[in-house]
Amino acid sequence: MSFFKDIKDELEQAVNEIDATEQTEEEDLFADSDADEEVDEELLANILEDEPKTEEPVKQEEISEPKAEEAAVPQEEKTQREHTEGVTVITKGTTINGSIISDCALDVMGTINGDIECLGKLTISGKVSGNSIASEVFVNTERLEGSITSEGSVKIAQKTIVIGDITASSAVLAGAVKGEIDVAGPVVLDSTAIIKGNIKAKSVQMNNGAVMEGFCSLSYSDIPIDDIFE
């Protein structure tokens, strides 16, 4: 009997060991399954992170409106101001034989034998033999031979002799001019002025001591002179 009992005990022990082994393998299997689920969750999270994010629309930069002061300045005046910012200087002792063109102001202290054209102010204190065109002209020299054309004013200093015509929008003459004077605005003849030629202007102011030989016409005046006497 003891022999069979021992065999029975050995069989039960073997069965218990088999059950324990299967239970351990089953637990390992569930553990691997949980690990796979964790891996899948991490993979899903990575995939979600890799998805392209919706970019926010780029906001256009607001274009600042020009300041009231800048907007009030006409474009022509801005252009003229840009041209007159620099100054070209012909120094004393320099002689130029030929025409000269400048896109800014020009100060002539030397000698130019030729025509002058500049977009800015023209100041002549040297010697010039030729026609001059500028936005504004100031002559303060002994003698200038050539016509003067200006979009703005023309000023002839005292003791200056000009041999040539003058065309401008206004003029102040204190020196001597021999030529035709055509000014769309006012003309002022200082007490030292000597004019030999006709004047065509909007108005003429002749100070005591000025000398003029020629015909004066106020054809640019706003007053209809011929209609008054009809």
Burial zone of 36 (CB within 10 Å; 0-12 exposed, 13-18 middle, 19+ buried): exposed
Reading the chain (230 residues) residue by residue, the pLDDT tens digits are 555 555 556 666 665 666 666 565 555 554 554 544 454 565 556 555 555 555 555 454 444 454 544 445 555 554 444 444 589 999 999 999 999 999 999 999 999 999 999 999 999 999 999 999 999 999 999 999 999 999 999 999 999 999 999 999 999 999 999 999 999 999 999 999 999 999 999 999 999 999 999 999 998 988 887 778 87
Per residue in 63-97, is it b (16+ CB within 10 Å) or e — as a string? eeeeeeeeeeeeeeeeebeebbeeeeebeeeeeee
Spatial CB neighbours of 169, under 8 Å, sequence gap ≥ 6: 150, 151, 152, 153, 183, 184, 185
Residue 132 CB: number of other CB atoms within 10 A? 25
Sheet holding 181-183, edge to edge: 100-102, 116-118, 132-134, 148-150, 166-168, 181-183, 199-200, 216-217
Q: Tokens for 140?
A: 């303060």
Q: Rounded CA gap, 217 and 166, in Å? A: 15
Residue type, 86: G
